C-alpha cells in the first residue's frame, strides 16, 4: 500500500473527503517525523513504537581494497511492532 492507497482507504473507511484524508495522513507522518527529530518516541498502543536508533562509530573494511576505514556514527528511524500487531500477522 502506498500513500495514495492509504488516503483512499481512509476516505472509504473513515468517511472523510479526499482532502481531509490527505491532511490526516500528512499530519500523522509529520507528527512522527517531528517527534523523532526531537529524539522522542511515538507509541501507538496496539500498533507499535517508532523510535530513533543510534549506531556507534565503528571500523569497517573496504571490500575492494581491504583497507580499514572508519564508519561514522549514524541515527535512523526504527519501528517495533506491538504484540497485538505481531499476533495479527501470524
Same fold yes or no, 1-40 and 46-90:
yes
pTM of the model: 0.79
Q: Classify domain 1-40 at the CATH superfamily level.
A: IHF-like DNA-binding proteins (4.10.520.10)
Measured CA to CA, the distance from residue 78 to residue 65 in angstroms comes to 32
Binned at pLDDT 50, 70 and 90, residue 87 comes out as very high
| 27-79 pLDDT tens trace | 999 999 999 999 999 999 999 999 999 999 999 999 999 999 999 999 999 99
Measured CA to CA, the distance from residue 85 to residue 47 in angstroms comes to 6
pLDDT, residue 17, reads 95
pLDDT, residue 34, reads 97
In eight-state DSSP terms, residue 15 is: T
Q: Which three cell numbers stand for residue 14?
A: 473513515
| 15-40 pLDDT tens trace | 999 999 999 999 999 999 999 999 99
Domain ranges of the chain: 1-40, 46-90
Q: Which CATH class is domain 46-90?
A: few secondary structures
Burial class (CB in 10 A: 0-12, 13-18, 19+), 27: exposed
Amino acid at each position: 500500500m502506498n500513500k495514495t492507497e492509504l488516503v483512499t482507504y481512509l476516505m472509504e473507511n473513515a468517511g472523510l473527503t479526499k482532502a481531509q484524508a490527505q491532511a490526516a495522513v500528512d499530519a500523522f507522518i509529520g507528527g512522527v517525523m517531528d517527534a523523532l527529530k526531537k529524539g522522542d518516541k511515538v507509541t501507538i498502543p496496539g500498533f507499535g513504537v517508532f523510535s530513533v536508533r543510534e549506531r556507534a562509530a565503528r571500523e569497517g573494511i573496504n571490500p575492494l581494497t581491504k583497507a580499514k576505514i572508519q564508519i561514522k556514527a549514524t541515527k535512523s528511524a526504527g519501528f517495533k511492532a506491538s504484540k497485538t500487531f505481531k499476533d495479527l500477522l501470524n
